[in-house]
Structure 1
Amino acid sequence: PYGRYDDLPALGRIALKHNLWLHADACLGGFMAPFVRLAGYPVPEFDFTVPGVCSISADLHKYGHAPKGISTVSWRSEEYQQHHYVLFDDWAEGAYFSQSMLGSRAASPSVAAWAILTHLGEEGKVEIAREAMKFKERFEREIDALPNATVWDTDLTPLVFTVDHDPESFLGGILQKGWYLMGHMEPPLFQVILDSYPQELADELINDVKEVLAALARGEDFPKVGLGYTFTEGGDDALANFPLWVKRAVPLMKKI
């Protein structure tokens, strides 16, 4: 949530010392980090170059730009991969073998992921990474220069920033502009997960953040929107602190 890598080399040393399995959760950035590195930006160590890392997960439906839901898991060796499979025979039909707890899955997300990555290729992925990092640098430069906002130092492409105003009012104001930013409660902050956006879209986001902050500095207020998923006691107030999209989705789920 803070946009930073864990210290995988240090964790790897601990795992090796105590004979522990170390899994690197690269679900968000696994299909972005290698190409950010190829684009010339520093990326912390997180993969099998780190002694002690046994497995890595990375979502194709995030920075692989594939439809949901498809992910990957990689293993340091074929020996480690043997722990991946589900095999049991304690039922009436005999031995059951599967590569996942889910059993059957549609092939369409895999086909789509293959097509997208084949179309983009390494050159296309590096260009996406380069454009995302350029936008990050510009956002950091322009928003951090404002007197009522602070941009955090992050790894890779997540943008994390705080504001010197009621964070729920800021979130409400930026929502009125049409942006759905991820909020974080402890401490109150905001996240923007960057991609290769068109220049005009990048301009619009930066300008809208500036306008909402300027309005708050003038004493204007906006309807408050909760930063995270917290329940409050009481029937009608059970969703009081939830983001707007959750408030809209939960009643629909109850009808299913």
Structure 2
Amino acid sequence: MTDARRENPEEPLPDPRAIPHLNNDDAQDWIDVNPLAARHGSRLSLDKFEIPSGETDPQTAYQLVHDEAMLDGNARLNLATFVSTWMDDHARRLYLETADKNMIDKDEYPQTAEIETRCYKILANLWNAPDVDRAIGCSTIGSSEACMLGGLALKRRWQKRRRAEGKSTENPNIVLSSAVQVCWEEFCNYFEVEPRYVPISMEHKVLDGRDLDAYVDENTIGVVAIMGVTYTGMYEPVAKIADVLDAIETERGWDIPIHADGASGAMVAPFLQPGLEWDFRVDRVASISTSGHKYGLVYPGLGWVVWRDVDALPEDLVFKVSYLGGEMPTFALNFSRSGSQVLLQYYLFVRLGFEGYRKVQQYSQDVARYLAGEIGRMPQFQLWNDGGDIPVFAWYLTEEPRHWNLNHLSERLRIKGWLVPAYPMPDDLGGLTVQRIVVRNVRNGFSRDLASKLLRDLKKEVDYPESLDAPIPGPAHPGAFTH
């Protein structure tokens, strides 16, 4: 904490001998305060796992936490995460000014609530809702909560229909790709819905409607179509899936809706692939979710879900609660949270407009395709996809025997500061491991120049294990899979 300033430089520094755990075997349970950052007479050590008995000087407390956070990775070199890591100065100022607004308290903060409505209406327009005035939506903590709300609406609609027909509401199921994001596994577990996973393969890299009739039945509450598979960034063909479900309804009478999980792609496709029919132009799409904090470009903590119309969101899922002086409707798994991210989303909609978003996403995709093209030309690698959907792509090793694997390469790139994850694909692919790069954010994000530097380091780190006559010592373990 050498950059902290003591208020009175003339005061003597605290005595380092006052640190209670010097030469103590329990030192890992304590955190040191640099004497240069501490006031005279202040404590020089804090227990990590107990609240201090007294107050700490704010500058000292700030510097302590600041220095702890410094140990995290460099966000600009993190090619694993989809989450936004930069916003401009105006956004950061707005963030600080509005962090105290409670999103759930619509009576106390009616304008923030109004702006939330504007945002989901903007998204309903962007996603081609047939009647924006009848569309309904809400903000969430992230797209995982948004997916769960979409799934709950599917389940409740199915239950109401079954009861009206005098049929059992036991054993609901939902159909998913085996490459689905883990939040859907959580949904099925938490809300007692049977997941039915359609396996992907080298020939069918996404859920594309193949053999769908073998997975659906009268208890199917819906099919999830992913706009930007987490593993690889590929779109699942929503319109093609809908065509298969249309044929199933004609033959068997089962009206099965689609939830479009657009965590990333719902904020990319409208700008880069406007002619692609995946949204409410497809009649069978009942709801769409997205992450405001991914390609929506907002800091972490924001998701959105929008339903085609009020009929797609059962009214009995919406609670009307009295809170802090007024009655308000709410549909959420969370309650109190800051309204700042909602206001930041609106700021970006106003600041960038359609053309600004298009430029940001196009630049990211251009960088992704440049990188994919260069990596695809390396003889050691085979591309899984080329970044032509969202600005994300993945690759795997060619089949020749090697003394190394992608986990080794990921570890070697980490030494250079690059976070490029290697992780196993779903079991259907027989243990295939891929590496994935996510390109996001033009400004202070991943530029063409940084991409060239990554390629330089990547080729260098591939040349080293390729030159070895024996396997790299020690096993390389798969890193954590970053969503």
In structure 2, the partner of 1:185 is 424
SS at structure 2 position matched to 1:189: strand
Q: Which residue type is aligned with residue 185 of structure 1?
A: P
Q: Cα offset for 1:45?
A: 3.3
Corresponding residue to 2:405 among 154, 166, 170 = 166
Q: What amino acid is the match of 1:227?
A: P
Instruction: Show the counterpart of 2:390.
Output: 156
Contact 1:64 1:117 in 2 (8 A): no
Aligned to 2:243: 13
Structure 2's unaligned 5+ residue stretches are 1-230, 322-326, 399-403, 426-431
The separation in 2 between residues aligned to 1:76 and 1:10, in whole angstroms, is 19
Aligned twin of 2:332: 100
1:51 aligned residue: 283
1:198–1:4: structure 2 CA closer, same or farther, 3 Å change rule? Answer: closer
Q: Which runs of 5+ in 1 are unaligned?
A: 90-94, 230-242, 246-256
Could you state the TM-score of these two structures normalised by the residue count of structure 1? 0.76
1:210 aligns to 2:210 (yes or no) = no
Kindly report which structure 2 residues correspond to 1:52-91, keeping only aligned pairs within 5 A, or say none. Answer: 52-82=284-314, 85-87=317-319
* 1:96-147 CA-partner distances (Å, limit 9, x unpaired): 9422121232211111121123212222111112211211221122111111
Which residue number in structure 1 is paired with residue 136 of structure 2? none
> In the alignment, is the contact (CA less than 8 A) between 1:28 and 1:59 conserved in 2?
yes
**C-alpha RMSD of the superposition:** 2.7
8 Å Cα contact 2:407-2:479 kept in structure 1: no
Work out the CA distance in 2 between the residues paired with 1:172 and 1:223.
Answer: 12
Percent of pairs with identical residues? 21
Contact 1:23 1:56 survives alignment (8 Å): yes
Larger CA deviation: 168-177 vs 214-223: 214-223
Q: Is the 8 A contact 1:87 1:98 kept in 2?
A: yes
TM-score (norm 2): 0.42
- Determine which structure has greater relative contact order: mean sequence separation of CA pairs < 8 Å that are 6+ residues apart, divided by chain length: 2
Given candidates 29, 34, 37, the residue that maps to 2:273 is: 37
Is 1:28 paired with 2:297? no
Does structure 1 conserve the Cα–Cα contact (< 8 Å) formed by 2:409 and 2:462?
yes
Counterpart of 1:199 in structure 2 is 448
In the alignment, structure 1 residue 4 sits paired with structure 2 residue 243: no
SS of match in other structure, 2:300: coil
Post-superposition CA distance 1:173-214 (Å, at most 9, x none): 111111112322132001111123323211112222211111
- SS state at 1:68 partner: coil
- Structure possessing the higher radius of gyration over alpha carbons: 2
Q: Is the 8 Å Cα contact of residues 173 and 222 (structure 1) preserved in structure 2?
A: no
| 1:252 matched residue in structure 2 | none
